[in-house]
Each structure stands twice: as C-alpha cells, then as structure tokens.
C-alpha cells in the first residue's frame, strides 16, 4: 500500500466519496437497461463506497485531504475536506447505509430501481454533508438528502407512509429554511461561504449577526436532528417509514448530521471550551475562544441553552418512549434522548467529553440501526410494529430475541454492549468537564430506558401468538393510492413477506450485533481515535 | 495493587490519549473485608447449591444461569479494584436476580417490585461515580470512598441494601418467590449494598440511622404473619445493625459490621432453609398455621423428625438473637461496643431484644404450638379481638390465636404467596384444610438438604467460637469474657420475656402498622399520569410540532439579542 498515501486516488478521495454514490443514481437505470439487476449493482456500488470510506485509514495517509472540485478558488471556495472527523464517521455512514440497503428487501424487491436510486441519493447527501467545507454545498447536500428522505419515507405508499412523509417534509423544509437563513446571515456578515474564511471574518462581524447566525444554524440542525423543543415531528415522521429507511435515517444520517453540526460549531463558531471551574485536566483553553469567545457571556448563555435542550431531550425522549405502543415511534423517541446524550458531551466542552460524544454517536448509529432491523423482522412476521403483537416472536426466533436483548442492553447501557462503554465515558467525562447535571441526566436515562425495551423482550419471549390474525391496514395490496404492487402480489398471498429473504436480513442484523459486541471489546481503541479527532477539532479553533 | 490493566480488552496501555485516562481497570483489591465477604459468599453458594440440589422440583438450566450470574457478581464485587468493575458487577447482581425472579411463578408482580427501583439504584450509582470523577476523583477504589456524589451513592446503597424506607422491593419479592429460591436470593443483594457503603461511603456517619432501621424493621417483622415476610423484615433489621457497625467511628465498628455481614449470610440462609422446609411441609406461609391441628402430646413420626429441623432452626435463631457462643453474639457485641452515642447503643439493645422476641415466636409457632401465649389476657379473662380466638383451645390455654383467613390485614400478602407456593401446592388449599396433610410424605428434609443445613449450623457455631479463624481483625477486637456473654444475653432474655408476657397483647396494634405500599402505589400512579400528559402534548398535530420549533427558535433569538 506504499505510495497510496499521495496517489491521485487519495488526492481525489473527497470528491470520489461524493461522486461515486452520485454517479450510481443514474447508473442504476442504465445498468438495468443493459440487464444488470439493480439490487446487485446497488450493493456492489455500496460495497465500493464502503471500501473507499476505509481508504483514509490506510497507513501513511496525511489528513486533511482537501479537494476543490471545479477549481473554484478564492471567495467562492468550494471545498471538500476530509479531516479526522470525516475519517471517523465515513465508515460508520457507509456501513450503516450498506446494512440498511441489505436489510430493506421487502420494498427493494418490489421496486428495486427506485429504492436504490433514492438510497444512493441519500448516501450522496450524507457523505457530502460530512465532507463539505463551504456553506453553499452544505445547503445543497442538506436538500439532496432531504429530497431522497421524503420519497423514501413515503415508500410504502400507504396512508401512514404519506402522512409521515408529509410531516417529515414540512419539518425538514422548515429546518432547511432555518439553515439557509443562517447561511444568508453569515454571507451578509462576511461576504464568503468558505467556512475557514467566514470564521476569520466573523470575528470582526457585528455580534448580532454572529449570534443570529448561530441560533438559526443551531435551530435548523436541532430541528433535523430532533432535539427538544423541535422534536415533536420526529416520531410521526418515522412511524410510517419502512424499517430499513427508519434505520437509515436514525443511524447513518443522524451521524452525518452530527458531523456537519460539529463542522459548523467548531469550524465556524469556535465550539465550547471546558467550563470554568471544572476539574478537568485536559482541554480547557482559557481566554478568547473562537468567534464567540470575544463575548464570553454569549458563549456561556449558548452553553446554558444547549444544556437545557439536551437535558429536556433526554427526559422527553425517554418519557415519551415509555408511553408508546408502537416500536418505531418508541425508537424514534429513544433517538431523541440519545441525541440529548450526545449534545451534553458536546456542550460540556473539552477534548475528552467531545470524544465521548463522538463515540456515543458511532455506537448509537449501530445499535439503533440494529433495533430498527429487529423491528423490521417483527413487522415481517407479525404484520405490524405494535408491541402487543410481538408476543411469542422471540420464542419462534431466539436469535432475533438475542439480538434484541443485545441492542437493548447497548441502548440502555449495560455491559457487555458497546453502548455501555460510550455511556459510561460520556457520564464520567461530562461530569469531569463540569456538566454534572447532564451527567446525572444521562445516568438516570438508563433507568427510564430499560423498562420500555424490557417490555418488548418479555413480550417476545412469552408463549403463544397474538390472538387474531392482525389486520394489515398498511399493506399496499389494499391501498387504493398505489395499485401497482397489488398486481405483483399473487392472489391469496400472505399479507406479509415470507419469502426467503431472511438470510440477507439475518446477516444485516448479525452484522450490527457483531459491531456492538466488537465495539465494546475495542472500546479503548475507538475512544482514543475519537480523542485524537476531538483534539484536532478543539485545536483547529485557535 | 497499582498494576493498570488495559481499559477494555484490545487496548494497550500506551494508547492512552492523554495523561488523564479515567477508564482503566485496576487490579483487584484484596483487603480483609473484601476477601472475607467473597469467601463467605462462596461458601454460601456451595451450601445453598447443595440445598437446592436436594429440592424438588428441579430448577431449569436458565434459572441456574441467572442464579449463577447473581451470585457470581456478588462473589466478585467485594474484590473489585475500580469503580468500573464495581459498577458492572453491581449490574450483574441486579440482572441475575431479575432473571431468577422472572423464571419464578408469579414473576410479573415480583419483577415490577424489583426492577424499577433497582434501576434507580444503578442510575444513582452511575451518577454518583460521575460526580465523584467531576470532583477530581479517580476510578480506583481506595479506602477513602467517593469524594463527590455522596447523596446519590447513599440512595444507591439504601435501595440495594433495603434500608428501611427503601425496603419495599425486598419484602415484595423474597417472600413471594418459591421457598428455595428465597434461600438463594436472601444472601447476596442486600449484602452487596452494605458492602458498597463500606467501599463508597466509609465516613457516612449513619450510626444512628442504622440503629433506628434495626428497631423499626424489627417492629415490622413482629407484625408479620407470613414466615418469609417475617424473615425478610429481619434482613432489613440486620442490615441496620451492619450499617451501624460500619458507620461507627471507633476501631471495632468496621470489623464488627463486616463480620456481621458474613454471619448474617450464614444464619439467615439457614433460617430461610428451615422456613422453606416448614412451608413445604405445611403448604402454608402462615406462621399461625404451622402447627395447627397437630397435637404436641403424642408426636407422630413426622414430628419426631422435626427434631433435626428444630436443631437447625434453634441454631439460626440463637445466632441471629446473639446468644453466646453463636456467631451473631460476636459481631453484635463488637457493634454495640463500637457505637459512639448512648442512643445508638440502647436502640441496638432494643433491636436485639426485638430480634430475640421474634425468633422465640418463630421457634414457638414452628415447633411448639400454634398459639401465642398471652398470660395477661388469661388474667383479665377477656376474649381477644372481635371475630378472633373462637377456638376453645385458645381460651383454655390463655393464648391468642390468630385466625388465618382472608379477613386478616395480610390477606394480600397471603394471596401473593398463594401463587408462588410452588412445589407444595397452593397456600389457599392448605389454609382450607391445614391438618389434612400428612407431614412426612410431603417434604422430607433429605440427606442433601440436611447436609447443607448441618454445615451452616456448624459454621454458625464455629464463627462464634473461633472468630480468629475467619476474620482476624474482628477477633482482635473481641474478647470472649463472661461480661461479654452477660451483655449479649440480657437483651435476649428481655426479648424472650417480652414474647411470653406481652407480645400477645401487642399483636392487634402491630397489625395496624402502615405498610407504606400506598406511597409506592401513589408514586407509580403519578408517574403514569405524567406520561399520559406528555403523550397528550405530543398529539401528532403538525401545527403544534412546528409551533414548538418556532417558539424554541424565537426563545433562543430573544435571549441572545438581549445579551448581545
């Protein structure tokens, strides 16, 4: 592999990571015309992207790798930047998209071309969001991902799916507009959209612009990520989506959004230093810190708002998850709580707490994807994601029950699942950085979370099946809005898919389970990688 | 001891990201409290395993795995060298117990009583460790305990050790599991909590609180009618003794408290074993039914075999009451000598006396008679309470007999045990015809169980006679003099006298004690209501969803504009 480090491939890697998934969007169509099945081509393409995403880890790679497609220099400064943060998250996104695409057999078998085209579009948006170093492209990628998302959420084509897609569309549109306004304010104040230059000029900009842009961008990202008080659409938006799509949106896409948020926070606004009075030995840069550093009060006010948002996300997410009777809604609320965990780590400031937040983002992606897969399996066999209908499901498929227990343990934070490691470190490091209120909220979160997972596990291992054959109102064969699949379904076919796709789906679930177990085993390594990324982020501010 | 193991498998110590590395495992701490407790746990695992091996029906493999996780976590926890291991083992103890309870008949009720509160304890412990680190502490377990988060740690300990207001989980799970399951569970959970007090909060200053708990729990124990409900409250009471000892400031307190933990595991296990046999034999938990219908004048063969059981029960009762030369005497003497305040001392004396009275009742109702003697009532020739004591034998003996039946204040408790009496059939049928069971055929003690009980009985005696074989620091502080024997004995005599003279009079008052379950039920109802309110707030109205988002944005903007 010698010489790969400075090869043309590596120089163009940031562009390739966006261009390859994007090129598969039209390519799938033509390949199918030639006779290559869309599913095979798509999985091959995603494998290629997965491979590419691991290239920055090759020995001798010098980060950051910068690429300016089109050669626009100067003020326009269109740049894709592959830094440590992107290197850490790229494999997470690629692997998450890959297993989700693998898992989504039900809908991809029915409409393979459109499903994989949309997934590739989403993939492009996620990778681009992570890599972009200018605000113009950031907005473009936000919208690319958003468009693909709406279509994918509505993919089932039934009433639930359309309602979810509409709510998702409205919320994401508002979020996009907020982000756009924030970008407009930054541009007005600085005259550039290139993040490093904008950050430099923001230092001299009027504080009203800076604060306004910060609030708008933060609100937009919080709306997309589902933080209190902008979380209310989230469960509705995911409830009607196919399980594989819900997994995509809660795992890899949230991770990409978090990566983008970090770029904005640290690249543009200087991030949060360690709080005053914290006993932390690490981190903690005194004096002026980034753009908002000149106004210490503003920074601390922002931090206070961040903590209020984070803690109320944790509480609201877990409490609402307890109240749900449908698994997808429950998992969506649980995601809200976990976003709260991560934001506590970010708000606490300093390298260690930030590294803990990064690792939790990674472990959360896989455990949530895994749980959505379990939910998808239950939907496949039971025809609904109602918790009551899960009765007896794990008894019939103990491996599925085992996976559900593992993912639940990880989400609650019980060893030996990776989620325990990241939650433990997050509690300790946030407390260590002075955010002990957030740390206590995270610790208490586990106590609130276990009952709702345990409920499903217990129900799944109970003997017997749910009483009557469950009506399947969502099934597209009965839905007037979408007559096409009805023609495909043979007469009298079971309402749910019992074809032999289990193998692939089982593989997808087991991959997630293996990652969760492996993440616990290799937690030290993961954390030290995250720590170096966090050090780089904090260091880049000065 | 300062060998640093790597953070988690697969990491080399050299990859520490900076000088601050809070996530390292430390080598086990092998100090005397930890080693002693781990050893006692191990011995008890062997004895209780033997006992369960001789019990029908056999436990399933899943049950044994959960029980093994529970006990294994408890065996390893006293040796944990860092808080991460400590927390993981603490969780294992909890999860193992949840698994065991889950596999019992009547599981949902027990798991509901057990799990939520244990989750709160685990979260509190995690939060406490976080605040300890926030205050600048390290994860290594040292003699100093936590330097931050004492309140949260105290909550965790109080729940895990079932200290009085947090004991509800204990008295709602152990008495309702199958009899032999309680034998297994009784040893580990609460002792882990007490040990956590020693490790995390050595300077807790809870001496007086421990003594108060000891007395209050004894009063509750005296009010119980079910055998294992009674034994469970005695766990709470003895935990009070242990806490008083560990929190006592003088030198003998900690060895005394730790020795009491070990002693208590042994004799309480023995008592639970005896209780399990009695319950199987009679098919009832009700203490007043254990002898009913059996004549003491002409013992049947089954009753003659009771002699062996009686020996075991007597050893357990003598030990827990603190009669010399049994083991409870040694540790209780140490604790009483160590406490600082006179109030604590007298409360502990009262607790000892109450314990002695309780276990006189245990022996009396289990092996002698089904009626509690009440000489005062005979003097006054008055009948006992309305609707009670219709039996002419009660009148003749001048005794108070508590009728078993649904009208009692503990009807809920007996109903709970009815579902879980397990092997011996339902308690309900036994209540209907208590005398109809031919004792010996139902439950022989058997050689295996006899061995287990004999071993623990012997251990009770040995731990009392030769403390230096078990815990040298305790033995150093303790001198087996006549004065010590007398000071151990007089509270016992006081308690025995109380039982024979006054207890019959106190029963009606004792049975009116508030159970505290209303508070728990109210808390659960309040939580449910809060969840429902939150659910109604999130009602799926898109206008509301976006409205909140804009309100959040506006709030953020206004706040910033005000400050900028």
Residue among A216, A446, A522 whose CB faces B123 most closely? A446
| Helix (H) or strand (E) run with residue B550 in it | helix B542-563
Say if B377 falls within a structural domain.
Answer: no
**pLDDT bracket for residue A276 (50, 70, 90):** low
Q: What integer pLDDT is reported at residue B392 of this predicted model?
A: 46
* B93-115 as b/e: b if 16+ CB within 10 A: bbbbbbbbbbbbebbebbbbbbb
Question: Cβ neighbours of residue B358 under 8 Å, at least 6 residues apart?
Answer: B218, B221, B222, B230, B234, B495
Mean pLDDT of A77-96: 91
User: What global pTM score does this model have?
Assistant: 0.81
Say if B391 falls within a structural domain.
Answer: no
Q: Are A253 and A389 in contact (CB under 8 A)?
A: no
Q: Are A423 and B16 in contact (CB under 8 A)?
A: no
- Which chain A positions have a beta carbon within 8 Å of B551's beta carbon? 229
Q: What integer pLDDT is reported at residue B295 of this predicted model?
A: 52
**Residue A437 above 80 pLDDT?**
yes
The chain-wide mean pLDDT, for chain A, equals 83
| Helix (H) or strand (E) run with residue B192 in it | helix B189-200
Least confident of A222-236, A333-347, B296-310: B296-310
- Which chain B positions have a beta carbon within 8 Å of A420's beta carbon? 88
Contact B119 A447 (CB under 8 A): yes
Q: What integer pLDDT is reported at residue A8 of this predicted model?
A: 80
Q: How far apart are CA A57 and CA A36, in angstroms?
A: 32
Q: How far apart are CA B312 and CA B274, in angstroms?
A: 7
**Interface with chain B: mutation pick from A428, A523, A531, highest number of B CBs within 10 Å:** A428
φ/ψ of A182, rounded to 5, equals -60, -45
**Interface with chain A: mutation pick from B15, B16, B23, highest number of A CBs within 10 Å:** B23
**Residue B534 above 70 pLDDT?**
yes
**Residue B562 above 70 pLDDT?**
yes
Q: Are residues B439 and B533 in the same domain?
A: no
Q: What integer pLDDT is reported at residue A249 of this predicted model?
A: 94
For chain A, first and last CA: distance in Å? 34
Q: How far apart are CA A512 and CA A526, in angstroms?
A: 16
To the nearest 10 degrees (0 to 180), the angle between helices B189-200 and B32-53 is 180
Question: Cβ neighbours of residue B298 under 8 Å, at least 6 residues apart?
Answer: none
- Residue A487 class from Cβ within 10 Å (0-12 exposed, 13-18 middle, 19+ buried)? exposed
Q: How far is B55 from chain A (nearest CA, A)?
A: 27
Contact B130 A415 (CB under 8 A): no
Number of domain units in chain B: 2
Q: How far is B195 from chain A (nearest CA, A)?
A: 22
The residues with which A194 forms a beta bridge, in sequence order, are A134
Contact A282 B545 (CB under 8 A): no
Q: How far apart are CA A122 and CA A141, in angstroms?
A: 9
The chain-wide mean pLDDT, for chain B, equals 79
Strand boundaries in A277-391, DSSP class E:
none
Mean pLDDT of B362-379: 80
**pLDDT bracket for residue A454 (50, 70, 90):** confident
Closest residue in B to A301 (Cα) is B560
Q: Are A89 and A38 in contact (CB under 8 A)?
A: no
Q: Are residues B333 and B467 in the same domain?
A: yes
Q: Are residues B433 and B555 in the same domain?
A: no
Q: How far is B139 from chain A (nearest CA, A)?
A: 10
Say if B268 falls within a structural domain.
Answer: yes
Q: Are A345 and A429 in contact (CB under 8 A)?
A: yes
Q: Are B374 and B505 in contact (CB under 8 A)?
A: yes
Q: What integer pLDDT is reported at residue B415 of this predicted model?
A: 37
Q: What integer pLDDT is reported at residue B157 of this predicted model?
A: 93
Q: Are A434 and A275 in contact (CB under 8 A)?
A: yes
* Tens-place pLDDT, residues A312-323: 999 999 999 998
**Residue A460 above 60 pLDDT?**
yes
Residue window 102-131, chain B: list those with CB within 8 Å of chain A. 102, 115-116, 119-120, 122-124, 126-127, 129-131
Q: How far apart are CA A373 and CA A390, in angstroms?
A: 14
Q: How far is B177 from chain A (nearest CA, A)?
A: 19
Contact B22 A428 (CB under 8 A): yes
* Tens-place pLDDT, residues B133-189: 878 788 888 878 888 888 899 999 999 999 888 888 898 898 889 888 999 999 998
Q: What integer pLDDT is reported at residue B92 of this predicted model?
A: 92
- ipTM field: 0.83
Percent of chain B beyond pLDDT 90? 30
Say if B395 falls within a structural domain.
Answer: no
Q: Are residues B288 and B151 in the same domain?
A: yes
- Coil, strand or helix: which one is A314? helix
**Residue B441 above 90 pLDDT?**
no
Percent of chain A beyond pLDDT 90? 42
Q: Are B387 and B407 in contact (CB under 8 A)?
A: yes
Q: What integer pLDDT is reported at residue B305 of this predicted model?
A: 61
Question: Cβ neighbours of residue A139 under 8 Å, at least 6 residues apart?
Answer: A176, A179, A180, A183
Q: Are residues B252 and B300 in the same domain?
A: yes
Q: Are residues B543 and B428 in the same domain?
A: no
Q: What integer pLDDT is reported at residue B396 of this predicted model?
A: 44
Could you tell me which of B343, B329, B335, B142 has the C-alpha nearest to residue B250?
Answer: B335
**Interface with chain B: mutation pick from A301, A306, A447, A454, highest number of B CBs within 10 Å:** A447
Q: How far apart are CA A88 and CA A123, in angstroms?
A: 16
**Residue A298 above 80 pLDDT?**
no
Q: What one-character DSSP code corresponds to residue B404?
A: P
Alpha carbon of residue B264 to chain centroid: 10
Q: Are residues B430 and B544 in the same domain?
A: no
Pairing of strands B399-400, B372-373: antiparallel
Q: How far apart are CA A80 and CA A128, in angstroms?
A: 8
Closest residue in B to A316 (Cα) is B534
Least confident of A20-34, A369-383, A410-424, B6-20: B6-20
Say if B389 falls within a structural domain.
Answer: no
Q: What integer pLDDT is reported at residue A506 of this predicted model?
A: 86
Mean pLDDT of B29-57: 90
Q: How far apart are CA A63 and CA A61, in angstroms?
A: 6
**Interface with chain A: mutation pick from B13, B15, B18, highest number of A CBs within 10 Å:** B18
Q: What integer pLDDT is reported at residue B440 of this predicted model?
A: 40
Q: What integer pLDDT is reported at residue B135 of this predicted model?
A: 81
Residue window 58-87, chain B: list those with CB within 8 Å of chain A. 84, 87
Least confident of A502-506, B103-107, B215-219: A502-506
**pLDDT bracket for residue B264 (50, 70, 90):** very high
> Which position has the higher pLDDT, B404 or B287?
B287
Q: Are residues B88 and B228 in the same domain?
A: yes
* B489-501 as b/e: b if 16+ CB within 10 A: bebbebbbebbbe
Pairing of strands B399-400, A65-67: unpaired
Mean pLDDT of B50-59: 85
Q: What integer pLDDT is reported at residue A321 of this predicted model?
A: 93
Closest residue in B to A275 (Cα) is B134
Say if B509 falls within a structural domain.
Answer: yes
Q: How far apart are CA A364 and CA A347, in angstroms?
A: 18
The per-type count for chain B, helices as H runs and strands as E runs, is 26, 4
Q: Are residues B458 and B541 in the same domain?
A: no
Q: Are residues B223 and B80 in the same domain?
A: yes
Q: What integer pLDDT is reported at residue B16 of this predicted model?
A: 40
Question: A355 is written with which tokens?
Answer: 């590294």
Least confident of A21-25, A139-143, A423-427: A423-427
Least confident of A88-92, B198-202, B489-493, B559-563: B559-563
- Is B136's Cβ below 8 Å from some Cβ in A? yes
**Residue A253 above 90 pLDDT?**
yes
Least confident of A170-174, A458-462, B360-364, B550-554: A458-462
**Residue B436 above 60 pLDDT?**
no
* Tens-place pLDDT, residues A477-509: 333 333 334 334 444 444 444 454 568 888 888
Residue among B6, B17, B560 whose CB faces A301 most closely? B560
DSSP string, B442-493: H---HHHHHHHHHHHHHHHHHHHH-HHHH-HHHHHH----HHHHHHHHHHHH
Which range scores top for mean pLDDT: A203-212, B67-76, B99-108, B460-469? Answer: B67-76
DSSP string, A338-365: HHHHHHHHHHH-SHHHHHHHHHHHHHHH
* Tens-place pLDDT, residues A161-177: 899 999 999 999 999 99
Size of the A and B interface in Cβ pairs below 8 Å: 199
- Which chain B positions have a beta carbon within 8 Å of A425's beta carbon? 22-23
Mean pLDDT of B92-111: 89
Q: How far is B180 from chain A (nearest CA, A)?
A: 24
Closest residue in B to A416 (Cα) is B88
- Which chain B positions have a beta carbon within 8 Å of A527's beta carbon? 7, 17, 23
**pLDDT bracket for residue A107 (50, 70, 90):** confident
Q: What integer pLDDT is reported at residue B564 of this predicted model?
A: 65
Q: What integer pLDDT is reported at residue B336 of this predicted model?
A: 87
Q: Are residues B475 and B559 in the same domain?
A: no
Q: What one-character DSSP code corresponds to residue B535?
A: H
Q: Are residues B495 and B551 in the same domain?
A: no
Q: What integer pLDDT is reported at residue B300 of this predicted model?
A: 55
Name the residue range of residue B534's domain.
528-563
Q: What integer pLDDT is reported at residue A74 of this predicted model?
A: 63
Say if B383 falls within a structural domain.
Answer: no
Q: What integer pLDDT is reported at residue B504 of this predicted model?
A: 83
φ/ψ of A459, rounded to 5, equals -60, -40
Mean pLDDT of A340-367: 91
- Is B88's Cβ below 8 Å from some Cβ in A? yes
Q: Are B87 and B126 in contact (CB under 8 A)?
A: yes
Say if B520 falls within a structural domain.
Answer: no
Angle at B315 between CA B335 and CA B293, to 5 degrees: 130
Q: What one-character DSSP code corresponds to residue A82?
A: E
Least confident of A101-105, B2-6, B537-541: B2-6
Q: How far is A508 from chain B (nearest CA, A)?
A: 25
Q: What integer pLDDT is reported at residue B447 of this predicted model?
A: 83
């Amino acid at each position: 592999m010698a010489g790969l480090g400075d090869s043309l491939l590596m120089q163009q890697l940031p562009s390739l990571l966006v261009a390859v998934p994007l090129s598969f969007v039209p390519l799938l169509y033509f390949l199918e015309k030639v006779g290559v099945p869309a599913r095979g081509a798509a999985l091959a393409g995603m494998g290629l992207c997965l491979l590419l995403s691991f290239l920055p880890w090759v020995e001798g790679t010098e980060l950051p790798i910068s690429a300016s497609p089109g050669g626009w220099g100067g003020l326009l400064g269109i740049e894709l930047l592959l830094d440590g943060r992107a290197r850490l998250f790229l494999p997470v996104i690629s692997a998450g998209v890959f297993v989700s695409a693998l898992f989504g057999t039900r809908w991809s078998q029915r409409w393979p071309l459109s499903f994989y085209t949309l997934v590739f579009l989403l993939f492009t948006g996620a990778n681009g969001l992570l890599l972009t170093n200018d605000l113009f492209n950031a907005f473009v990628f936000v919208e690319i991902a958003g468009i693909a998302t709406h279509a994918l959420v509505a993919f089932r084509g039934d009433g639930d799916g359309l309602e979810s897609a509409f709510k998702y569309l409205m919320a994401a549109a508002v979020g996009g507009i907020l982000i756009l306004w924030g970008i407009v304010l930054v541009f007005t104040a600085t005259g550039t959209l290139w993040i490093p230059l904008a950050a430099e000029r923001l230092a001299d900009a009027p504080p009203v612009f800076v604060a306004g842009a910060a609030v708008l961008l933060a609100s937009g990202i919080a709306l997309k990520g589902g933080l209190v008080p902008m979380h209310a659409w989230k469960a509705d938006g995911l409830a009607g989506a196919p399980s594989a799509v819900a997994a995509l949106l809660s795992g890899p896409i949230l991770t990409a959004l978090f990566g983008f948020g970090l770029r904005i926070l640290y690249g543009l606004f200087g991030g949060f230093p360690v709080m005053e009075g914290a006993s932390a030995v690490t981190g903690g840069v005194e004096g002026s810190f980034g753009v908002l550093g000149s106004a210490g009060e503003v920074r601390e006010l922002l931090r206070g708002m961040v903590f209020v948002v984070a803690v109320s996300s944790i509480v609201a997410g877990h409490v609402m998850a307890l109240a749900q009777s449908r698994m997808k809604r429950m998992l969506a609320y649980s995601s809200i709580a976990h976003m709260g965990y991560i934001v506590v780590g970010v708000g606490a400031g300093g390298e260690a707490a930030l590294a803990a937040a990064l690792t939790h983002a990674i472990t959360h992606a896989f455990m949530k994807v895994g749980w959505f897969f379990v939910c998808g399996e239950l939907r496949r066999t039971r025809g609904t994601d109602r918790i009551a209908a899960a009765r007896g499901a794990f008894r019939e498929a103990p491996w599925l029950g085992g996976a559900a227990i593992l993912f639940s343990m990880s989400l609650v934070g019980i060893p030996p699942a990776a989620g325990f490691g990241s939650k433990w470190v997050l509690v300790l490091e946030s407390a260590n950085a002075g955010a002990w209120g957030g740390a206590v909220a995270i610790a208490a979160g586990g106590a609130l979370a276990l009952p709702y997972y345990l409920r499903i596990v217990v129900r799944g291992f109970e003997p017997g099946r749910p009483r009557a054959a469950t009506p399947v109102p969502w099934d597209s064969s009965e839905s007037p809005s979408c007559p096409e699949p009805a023609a495909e379904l043979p007469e009298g076919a079971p309402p749910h898919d019992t074809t032999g796709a289990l193998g692939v789906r089982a593989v997808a679930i087991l991959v997630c389970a293996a990652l969760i177990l492996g993440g616990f085993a290799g937690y030290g390594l993961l954390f030290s990688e995250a720590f170096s990324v966090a050090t780089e982020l904090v260091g880049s501010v000065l | 001891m300062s060998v640093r193991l790597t953070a988690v498998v697969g990491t080399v110590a050299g990859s520490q990201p900076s000088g601050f590395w809070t996530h390292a495992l430390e080598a086990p701490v092998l100090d005397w409290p930890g080693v002693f407790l781990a050893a006692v746990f191990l011995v008890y695992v062997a004895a209780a395993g033997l006992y369960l091996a001789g019990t029908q029906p056999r436990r399933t493999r899943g049950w044994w795995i959960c029980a093994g996780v529970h006990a294994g976590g408890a065996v390893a926890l006293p040796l944990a060298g860092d808080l991460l291991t400590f927390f993981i083992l603490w969780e294992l103890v909890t999860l193992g117990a949840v698994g065991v309870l889950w596999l019992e008949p009547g599981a949902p009720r027990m798991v509901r009583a057990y799990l939520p509160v244990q989750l709160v304890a685990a979260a509190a412990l995690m939060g406490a460790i976080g605040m300890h680190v926030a205050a600048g502490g390290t994860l290594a377990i040292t003699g100093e305990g936590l330097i931050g988060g004492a309140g949260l740690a105290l909550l965790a300990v109080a729940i895990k050790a079932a200290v009085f207001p947090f004991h509800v989980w204990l008295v709602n799970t152990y008495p309702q599991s199958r009899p032999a399951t309680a034998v297994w569970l009784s040893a580990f959970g609460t002792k882990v909590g007490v040990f956590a007090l020693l490790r995390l909060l050595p300077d807790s200053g809870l001496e007086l609180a421990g003594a108060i708990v000891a007395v209050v729990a004894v009063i509750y124990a005296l009010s119980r009618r079910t055998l294992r409900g009674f034994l469970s409250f005695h766990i709470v009471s003895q935990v009070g003794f242990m806490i008083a000892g560990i929190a006592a400031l003088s030198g003998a307190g900690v060895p005394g408290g730790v020795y009491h933990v070990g002693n208590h595991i042994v004799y309480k296990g023995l008592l639970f074993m005896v209780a399990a046999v009695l319950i199987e034999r009679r098919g009832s938990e009700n203490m007043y039914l254990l002898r009913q219908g059996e004549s003491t004048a002409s013992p049947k063969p089954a009753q003659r075999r009771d002699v062996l059981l009686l020996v075991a029960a007597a050893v357990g009762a003598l030990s827990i009451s603190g009669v010399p030369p049994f083991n409870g005497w040694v540790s209780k003497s140490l604790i009483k000598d160590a406490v600082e305040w006179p109030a604590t001392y007298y409360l502990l004396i009262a607790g000892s006396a109450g314990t002695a009275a309780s276990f006189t009742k245990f022996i009396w109702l289990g092996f002698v008679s089904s009626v509690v003697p009440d000489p005062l009532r005979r003097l006054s020739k008055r009948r006992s309470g309305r609707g009670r004591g219709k039996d002419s034998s009660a009148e003749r003996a001048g005794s108070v007999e508590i009728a078993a039946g649904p009208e009692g204040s503990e009807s809920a408790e007996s109903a709970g045990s009815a579902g879980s009496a397990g092997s011996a059939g339902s308690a309900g049928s036994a209540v209907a015809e208590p005398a109809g069971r031919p004792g010996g055929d139902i439950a022989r003690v058997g050689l295996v169980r006899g061995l287990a009980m004999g071993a623990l009985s012997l251990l009770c005696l040995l731990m009392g006679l030769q403390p230096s074989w078990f815990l040298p620091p305790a033995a150093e502080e303790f001198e087996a003099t006549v004065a010590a024997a007398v000071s151990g004995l007089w509270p016992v005599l006081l308690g025995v006298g109380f039982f024979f003279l006054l207890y019959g009079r106190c029963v009606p008052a004792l049975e009116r004690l508030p159970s505290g379950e209303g508070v728990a039920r109210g808390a659960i109802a309040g939580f449910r209501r809060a969840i429902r309110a939150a659910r109604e707030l999130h009602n799926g109205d898109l206008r509301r969803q976006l409205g909140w988002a804009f309100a959040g944005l506006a709030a953020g903007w206004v706040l910033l504009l005000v400050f900028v």
